[in-house]
Amino acid sequence: MNTDREIDKISDEDLIKSIVKTNDTVLFEVLYDRYSKIVYNKCYGFAKDEDEAKDLTQDVFLKLFVKLITFKGTSKFSTWLYAFTYNHCVNYVTRSTQKKIEKQSIESSGLENLSDENDEDDNSIHRMKVEYLKVALELISPDEKMILLLKYQDLLTVKELETVLGIGESAIKMRIKRAKERLINAYAKTTCHGESL
Amino acid sequence: MQKPHAMENPFRNLDRPLKNVPEDLRAKVMNDIATAKLIMELASLFSINYGKVIESTISKRTITKK
């Protein structure tokens, strides 16, 4: 149908504006079709099994319909949606496992030379093997896993992370640095021979 | 073919191949959305549009002054 083709040509941002304006469920279906696979797979990364991934995806899309109005267009919609999805998953995992995520206070002394260290650590990360990386990601906190996925899987820049997570540049860099350190330690534990990076 | 020395970002391969979304999920989500829409519309019937109330009060007041 012609109308279907026209709908498919609409940019994400225009589609969101129309959904917010009209609450049209047919338009929301178009958004679901565009992003259900990626959202489902992201949820799967935090879920124990397929059923849990389905429940998480269902909740994300319901929440998305209600909260779509809060998308202000300051970042790409896909970027915003990834952070939205991870936030939901992190809250779910944190609540369900009763894990208390320690508050990460940021010491000013630790903020020096962050960019140089980050580049060096990226080489360590690129040398990791996928099967061990998967296990290592389960050993760090969901918050740390989220920021690493946003940076290395979805390739968000520090600026984009600042926008979608609503925290400053220094805090972002510090969180990435700490998450990477934890991941590298966890990775060393998961490899049989303590494979060094 | 892959280059033998190219250093790949392993994060990009974490969820590969992407799993297909279960087919029954679409209907469940859209059912949720229909319910949410109904609730939102019902809620809007019972809420006062303060903006409009203030606007109409002010305009009436101006008219009385004249």
Backbone angles phi, psi at A46, to 5 degrees: -110, -5
Give the residues of chain B that fall short of pLDDT 50: 1-5, 66
Is A4 a residue whose pLDDT tops 80?
no
How far is the alpha carbon of B14 from chain A, nearest alpha carbon, in Å?
Answer: 6
| A 109-128 → B contacts, CB under 8 A | 123, 125-128
Whether the CB of B42 is below 8 Å from some CB of chain A: the reply is no
Whether the CB of B13 is below 8 Å from some CB of chain A: the reply is yes
Residue-wise pLDDT for A39-77, tens only, equals 999 999 999 999 999 999 999 999 999 999 999 999 999
Residues of A in contact with B18 (CB under 8 A): 37-38, 41
- The structure tokens listed for A34 are 């565009």
Question: By 3-state DSSP, what share of chain A in percent is helix, strand and coil, each rounded to 5?
Answer: 75, 0, 25
| A 50-89 → B contacts, CB under 8 A | 50, 54, 57-58, 61-62, 65-66
pLDDT at residue B3, rounded to an integer: 44
Whether the CB of B59 is below 8 Å from some CB of chain A: the reply is no
CA distances from A73 to A4, A18, A80, A147, B47 (A): 24, 13, 9, 21, 28
Highest mean pLDDT among A92-101, A114-123, A184-193, B14-23: B14-23
Whether the CB of B44 is below 8 Å from some CB of chain A: the reply is no
Residue-wise pLDDT for A12-28, tens only, equals 999 999 999 999 999 99
Is A133 a residue whose pLDDT tops 60?
yes
**What chain B residue is nearest to A145 in terms of C-alpha separation?**
B11
Chains A, B: CB contacts within 8 A come to 86
| Partner residue opposite B14 with nearest CB, options A29, A38, A130 | A130
Of the listed ranges A55-59, A122-126, A134-138, B35-39, the least confidently predicted one is A122-126
**Cβ count within 10 A of residue A174:** 20
Is A192 a residue whose pLDDT tops 90?
no
More confident residue, A110 or B24: B24
pLDDT at residue B6, rounded to an integer: 56
More confident residue, A88 or A116: A88
Report helix, strand or coil for B55: helix
Supply the mean pLDDT for chain A.
87
Checking ipTM against 0.95, whether it exceeds it is: no
Whether the CB of B26 is below 8 Å from some CB of chain A: the reply is yes
- How confident is the model over A141-164, as a mean pLDDT? 96
Which amino acid, residue A54?
A: K
How far is the alpha carbon of B58 from chain A, nearest alpha carbon, in Å?
Answer: 27
Identify which of A25, A6, A7 has the alpha carbon closest to the alpha carbon of residue A15.
A7
Label residue A171 by pLDDT band (50, 70, 90). very high
Is A194 a residue whose pLDDT tops 80?
no
pLDDT at residue A96, rounded to an integer: 73
Of the listed ranges A81-85, A102-106, B35-39, the least confidently predicted one is A102-106
